[in-house]
Structure formats: structure tokens, C-alpha cells
Structure 1
């Protein structure tokens, strides 16, 4: 085990031990430990869920292109990418499960849901996708030359695109929330997922000494292109919103840009999540350290983009004066995650990290996915 791997294990275990306090508080205190309420029913945990699922989609894209479509530049990274995809999916589903009011009733999403429910369909797609990831890992371990791998990777890519778009549609079809209701939201989810997942693969590949020059060049310029595409989508969304002047949507956007937490957008999403990574990627050349920093920033700050989607739409009253019509516990449009929410989010992230590290130890990638194969 390398020194870097030992450090990662130490950080993951420390995060698990610290974060378990949040888990205990969630179990004993229910949702009373969270800052959301009647008007703001979703918060940090839903944001973590969407972020991790996006990372799973993007990292699986790397694995599918490398092993399923035999793209030479990505084949050396397909092993790490597949492990990230499974670990991130597990973490994301754990986060949303803990966010449920009655977690033990999750099975109702499978057997007591409407055929017109996007959330119900997503539950089935997540399950199929998770099973497929396990099958792919098993085949890569036992039969790395199996002819079934390419079509299974193709199927997984279809599932990832479907539930990635459906996850965006879960927000985009909510007409009551002006900031969410948009045909661009599902596309943004797919683009942002591709960015965060590829960035996570790049970051861990550099950290673990697995990045080859050809792979680095491919991910470098692909991420630059995806980031520019993300800028276009964001500009299209924001500019049309401002021009149309729909009050609720403009107010939500004003909160994103100039509200109490403006720094989440300008510092984390635009500065550390766009400007700095683009500069590092464009100017990095063969400097793997710069590529690793860029990947780490993109993966980490992907949370800010989801925060700026989920929260601002909920803190604007659907009806003018609603915040003054009723008063009482939970009847507030103010939201900032409590310490318990942050701790539980840290614990979820540590679980994803531990799953990745354990699989990385048990499934040696140099044997299953030899460099340059």
C-alpha cells in the first residue's frame, strides 16, 4: 500500500468517525436536527445525493468509453472509473435514503408508486444500474476478456443517461418552482455529471499515480470542452430568465447571484469551479499535479452548483406574503445546513470513499485493467 493510499484511508476513517455523530443525531432526532421545514423541505442531503449520482454518471462514462467502446486513451482509467461509479452511486443513494421521512418505507417507491412518477421510475433505474455495475465488476475480475462486457457497458451508458436526465427532469417538471422549471435542467444535470465524474477520475488517477500522458491529454481537453458547454447552458438559463422577468424566477436568481450566500456562486461555483480549473487545464501541459488540482477542484465544487439549484428555488415564497401569513416551527424560508447536516454529509462521503478504497485494494487494477491494454 502506497503512502498516498494510507493517507486516503486515514482521512476516510477519520471522516467516518467524526461523521457518525451526525448519523446518531439523525437516528435519534429524526429531521428535527435539520434546518429545513415546511417551506424548505429539501436541503444539504438532497444536494449531496444529486452531486454523488452525477459523479457516478460521469465516471461511468469514462469506464464505458474505455472498456465498452475501446477508446484507447481511457482504457487505462476504466478500472478506477468503474470503482468510482459504484462508490459514488452507493453514497448518493445512502444520502437520499437518510433524507426520507421514513427510510424503512423506501420499498414503496418500487411497489406503490404511479407509472407517471419520475421518482418511481428513477428508483428502478438506480437499482438496475447498481446491479449492472456489480455484474461488470464481477466479469472484469473473473472474465476480463468476456464478449459480454462491451454490450453491458453500452447498456449501462444508456441507463446512466436516462436516470441522469430523469434526475434533472425531477426538478425541471416542477412548475410550482420557477427556478427549476426548464427544459435545460436535465441537460445541465448530464453535462455537470460528466464534468464532476471525469474530474473525480482525473483527480484520483493523479493521486494514485495511475494517469498516463494520453489519458491526461484526453481528459484535459474533454473537461475544457464540457466546462465551456456548461457556461453556455448556464448563460442561456440565466440570460433568458432575466430578460423574461418572471418575478419568482428572477428573485431566486437574485438570491443565487447577490443573496446572503453569494459567495457559493461567485467563489466556489464560478471561481474555484470554473475559472481556476480552466486556467489549470489549459496551461498544465504535461504537469500532472496541475491536472490533479483541477480535477479535485471540479469534483469538490460540483456540490456548489447543486446547492445553487436546490436551495434558492425553495426560499422564495410561491405566494407573496406567505412568510407573514403563518408563523411557527418549520414555517420559515431561511435555510442554512446545521452542524448535524454537515456531519451526516461527511459520513456519507466517507462511506463512498471507503467503498472505493476497499474495492481498489481487493480488485487490483493493474491486473484487471493493465495500463496501455
Structure 2
């Protein structure tokens, strides 16, 4: 009997043949980051257009969600870290070529700013909670006076935050499903859509619901186009990309992807929102909830399926 010794790179624990180090907290983190980005973007746009009196839900009541979402997302991220006590080391350097570095610094700026925005509307949102500390009242007055400057900063910050949630995956070239330039715009669009859906759920006037119903419909159409573009790009790719795509089309993630994301999370809400816009009475909460569920499931599918895919060598 002849024995042969060979070395293979296909048996590296937690890395190959499939990646097993990103679990549910990462999916939750990506969803909450995208949701916060969408809300911050609309909040800033409405403020700069001086429509804050017409759309109070966007600039005031919905603004409570981003600081909570970002805080919970960061907690989920820290929980998932192997060595959470070393998270501070991300802020010891700036690497322009690293999506994780971009995300860390954007979150460092955006999260406290989102809390400051809520403070700027404190008296209007919580009239019964009268905080009598002199420093707090001065801070509130200062922030209310300079609200537009914060809105100007939120536009680029929210766009970078929304795109970052997708680029964080697409920069991982070793996984064929993630190695796709369309993920950045796709995750940004999905984040804007979930943000619009959250505003619809919280809206107090028919005018707000109608406007963001139209906005969400447009975003859903764009998102469907980007998903089709992603699938067609994969089908036109190499053998490993075809194998990766089979997880979504005919594989173990087909039901989750097409059933919960494409059909229930995009097509059904689009039809319901279109029906409502042409004059039929539709409970707007249903499509909004479906969009939010679809956005969350989409992150879970992309994170889980992407870790299974790999290049052959």
C-alpha cells in the first residue's frame, strides 16, 4: 500500500469549505443600519426643503428610531465579535480602502448626531417631560437653531451608511455571491425602502402616508430592477457564480429569497401601494410591514447564503 501526503486549503475551520463566523447579529445589524440610513435621509431632505411643518412624522416622531436602531445594531455587532473588548481598536486608524473602517467612523459620527436631533425636538415631542437642567435647555435651543446644518451632514452620512451595509459584503471577494458591485446600491435602496415603510407606519396624516407610499413604490421598482440585474450578472458569470446563484434560484434559499423577499416583501407591497394610489382603500400598514419583514429576511439570506458559497481551487 502506498501512502501519499497532500496539503489542502479546503479544510480551514470556520473559513473553508464554508464561512461560519457571521451569524444572526450581523444580519440584524445590517438591517437596522439600513433602516436608520433611510430614515435619516428622508428626515434631512424634508428639513432642507422646509417641509417639516407639513410632514412632522418624518422629522420628529420617526427620528426616534435611528438612534435606537443604531444603538441596537452596534450592540448586536459587539455581541458577535470574538473579542468585543478590542472593538475600540477600529478607531486607532483610518483605512480608506476598508469598508469596515468607513462604517466604524460613520457610525461613530452618525449615532450621537441622531441623538442630538431628537434633543432638538424634545419640547415638541415630549411636552410633559420638562427637563429643567439649564445645560439641557441651552443645548436644545442651540440644536434647534442649527438643525439645518445637521440635516446637511445627514445626507452624505446616511448615503454612506446605507451603501456601507452592502459594500461590507461585496468587498469580501472570496465569496462569489458577495463579490458583486450591485450590493452597495441594492442595500442602499432597500434601506431607503424600509425607512419609507417605517414612516408610513408612524404617519399621522393621509398626506404623509400618500407621499411615502409613492416614494416606497418607486424604491421597490428600483430594488426589483437591481435584484434582476444581480441575478442576470450571476447567470452571465463563471461556474462558481452560477453555483452561488443556484442557492437562491432552485436551492435551499429559494423559498426565503423569492417567497419572503421578492414576492411578499416587494411584489405584494408594490401591488397594494399601487392599488391605494389609484383610489382604492387599502390598509397601508400591511404593505409597510411586509416591506420591513422582506428587508430583514433579505439580509439574513444574503449573509447566510454568501458564507456557503466559495471558489473552487
- Choose which of 168, 171, 174 in structure 2 pairs with 1:173: 171
Distance 1:265 1:180, change over 3 A: same
Aligned to 1:329: none
TM-score scaled by length of structure 1: 0.70
Moved more, 66-75 or 171-180: 66-75
Aligned to 2:69: 88
Aligned to 2:302: 309
1:248 aligns with 2:240: yes
State the aligned residue count: 279
Aligned to 2:141: 143
Cα deviation for residue 139 of structure 1 reads 2.1
Distance 1:248 1:114 in 2: 30
SS at match of 1:317: coil
Cα offsets for 1:104-150 (capped at 9, x unmatched): 11111111564543212311110100111122222222339933101
1:128 aligns with 2:109: yes
Aligned to 2:159: 161
Cα offsets for 1:69-126 (capped at 9, x unmatched): 3235533432122111111111111111111001111111111564543212311110
Aligned to 1:189: 187
Distance 1:144 1:80, change over 3 A: farther
Aligned to 1:11: none
* Native 8 Å contact 1:63 1:75 kept in 2: no
SS at match of 2:236: helix
- The structure with more radius of gyration: 2
Cα deviation for residue 261 of structure 1 reads 3.0
TM-score scaled by length of structure 2: 0.82
1:275 aligns with 2:267: yes
* Native 8 Å contact 1:68 1:149 kept in 2: no
* Native 8 Å contact 2:265 2:294 kept in 1: yes
- Choose which of 216, 227, 233 in structure 2 pairs with 1:223: 216
Gaps of 5+ in 2: 1-12, 123-139
**Per residue, is there more helix in 1 or in 2?**
1
List aligned pairs for 1:23-102, cutoff 5 A.
Answer: 37-38=14-15, 39-71=19-51, 73-102=54-83
Distance 1:100 1:145 in 2: 35
Q: Quick one: higher RCO (CA 8 Å, sep 6+), 1 or 2?
A: 1
Cα deviation for residue 190 of structure 1 reads 0.9
